[in-house]
Amino acid sequence: MAALKAGNTERHRFSIVFYLSSCRFPGRIFLLSLTSPVHRKIIHIDMDAFYASVEQRDFPEYRGKPLIVGGPPEGRGGVVATASYEARKFGVRSAMPSKTAQRLCPQALFVYPRFDAYKAVSNSIHEILHRYADIIEPLSLDEAYLDVTKDKQHIGSALEIAKRIKQAIKDELQLTASAGVSINKFVAKIASDMNKPDGLTFIGPSRIEAFMEQLAIEKFFGVGKVTAARMKAIGLHTGSDLKKLPEDELIRQFGKPGKFYYRIVRGIDNREVQPYRETKSISVEDTYQEDLTTREAMWAELETLTLRLADRLQRHDMKGRTITVKFKFHDFTIITRSQSLPELINDKENLAVAVKTILDKAPVDKKKVRLLGVGVSNFKTSDAKSGNTQLDLFQI
């Protein structure tokens, strides 16, 4: 109910700004500057007990029962990936040894994860999200941020968008998601966790500071277990404790992240929602202390780079058809030379042949090379991996 009320406030604000910006009189700019700053609208979506809910959906015999997805409790090393809410009542949690989980909840059923099924559901969730937003940042299979400042479907309020997304997930996938709605990523994420399962929580700008003050310090973004322990040791338990420290003191105590803590405890988080970009190329490069002046020296370095590239391609399970070598010279000019092959490759032998062929033809005589790079592009679409992996890309 509180969430709905807050939602109306938000819609109200939206309509005032809209009205003012559509007025055609000279005072318009002045009036606009009187309105509160235009905030971003961020939604964080997180599926409830994701793996377990998919299992309960697909196997009716698991419904309403304590279900644990993960390694079996017999034998060593089995851990809980997740547990149904029925099992959580007994204290079962993700990452707990399965043996412990069984002790806490002897009647629980254990099942192995079915990653392909979860991946397929995740794809369907993203298809739904894309109906409502273009700027989407997936965090994992079951979690994503959306920037809905641009209201793709002209729905009018971020809260209403979140409601529709939840409903679509329920209707089309028979699963529940929890959503948090706010003006930045951090608050939206905290909000999505507040009323799980099937939650919908809106935290508007006016409530943020008070909300941060009561938050336990380990909940703050960037505060891991170690930092939390250090904070507690100096008497910092909640946001309001943290807020009492001036910025320079936080930096003195915690180094550079202190600056971030200072802002986040005041609800300031300017991190952008970073949409997934399809990986177009994978490359590696090195800058050299001393310029390379002979083809032999360049080849020696290119061979090393080729090994690194092959390793990286194989780790990402990607193969490409176009090999590119980048040369940066002493005067900072850059040239690239490419070769396209009939086949997709990612093995070091074939890559090395292509790289050597490119080097042999490259105009590098009497040149001083300060940086070399090797990259692969032109991936077969079905081989391209999704995800937000930060790869070392250079423009080819």
Phi/psi at 142 (5° precision)? -115, 15
Rounded distance between C-alpha atoms, residue 55 and residue 52, angstroms: 5
Task: Check residue 38 and report its DSSP letter.
Answer: P
* Both structure tokens of 379: 């991936």
Among 3, 47, 310, 354, binds ligand DCP (CB under 6 A): 47
55 is a contact residue toward Mg ion (CB under 5 A):
no
Nearest approach in angstroms of CB 291 to ligand DCP is: 48
Per CB under 6 A, contacts with ligand DCP among 90-119 are 94-95
Q: Which residue number, 42 or 351, has a Cβ lying nearer to Mg ion? A: 42
Rounded distance between C-alpha atoms, residue 8 and residue 4, angstroms: 6
Partner interacting with residue 273 (select from ligand DCP, Mg ion, none; CB below 5-8 Å by kind): none
Partner interacting with residue 94 (select from ligand DCP, Mg ion, none; CB below 5-8 Å by kind): ligand DCP
Nearest approach in angstroms of CB 44 to Mg ion is: 11
Nearest approach in angstroms of CB 47 to ligand DCP is: 5
> What letter represents residue 269's amino acid?
D
DSSP for 74-115 reads SSS--BEEEE-HHHHTTT--TTSBHHHHHHH-TT-EEE---H
Among 39, 99, 152, 196, binds ligand DCP (CB under 6 A): 196
Nearest approach in angstroms of CB 122 to ligand DCP is: 10
Partner interacting with residue 10 (select from ligand DCP, Mg ion, none; CB below 5-8 Å by kind): none
Return the exposure string of 105-131: e unless at least 16 CB atoms fall within 10 Å of the residue's CB, then b: beebbbbebeeeebeebbeebeebbee
- Neighbour tally for 47: CB within 10 Å: 25
147 is a contact residue toward ligand DCP (CB under 6 A):
no
Nearest approach in angstroms of CB 273 to Mg ion is: 18
DSSP for 51-71 reads HHHHHHHH-GGGTTS-EEEES
Known catalytic residue at 143: yes
**390 neighbors 298 (Cβ within 8 angstroms):** no
Size of the site for ligand DCP (CB under 6 A): 14
86 is a contact residue toward ligand DCP (CB under 6 A):
no
Among 47, 83, 169, 364, binds Mg ion (CB under 5 A): 47
Per CB under 6 A, contacts with ligand DCP among 115-144 are 142-143
Catalytic residue among 10, 55, 137, 143: 143
Partner interacting with residue 82 (select from ligand DCP, Mg ion, none; CB below 5-8 Å by kind): ligand DCP
Nearest approach in angstroms of CB 76 to ligand DCP is: 18
Peptide bond preceding 197: is omega within 30 degrees of 0, i.e. cis? yes
Per CB under 5 A, contacts with Mg ion among 117-176 are 142
Per CB under 6 A, contacts with ligand DCP among 51-70 are 51
Nearest approach in angstroms of CB 46 to Mg ion is: 4
Q: Which residue number, 5 or 170, has a Cβ lying nearer to ligand DCP? A: 170
Partner interacting with residue 51 (select from ligand DCP, Mg ion, none; CB below 5-8 Å by kind): ligand DCP
- Neighbour tally for 31: CB within 10 Å: 14
* Both structure tokens of 191: 């909000």
Per CB under 6 A, contacts with ligand DCP among 204-263 are none
Could you tell me the CA-to-CA distances from 383 to 166, 320, 322, 345 in Å, in that order? 31, 9, 14, 11
DSSP for 111-170 reads E---HHHHHHHHHHHHHHHHHH-SEEEEEETTEEEEE-SS-TT--S-HHHHHHHHHHHHH
- Active-site annotation, residues: 143
**Binding site residues, ligand DCP, CB under 6 A:** 46-51, 81-82, 94-95, 142-143, 196-197
Q: Contact positions toward Mg ion, by CB under 5 A?
A: 46-47, 50, 142
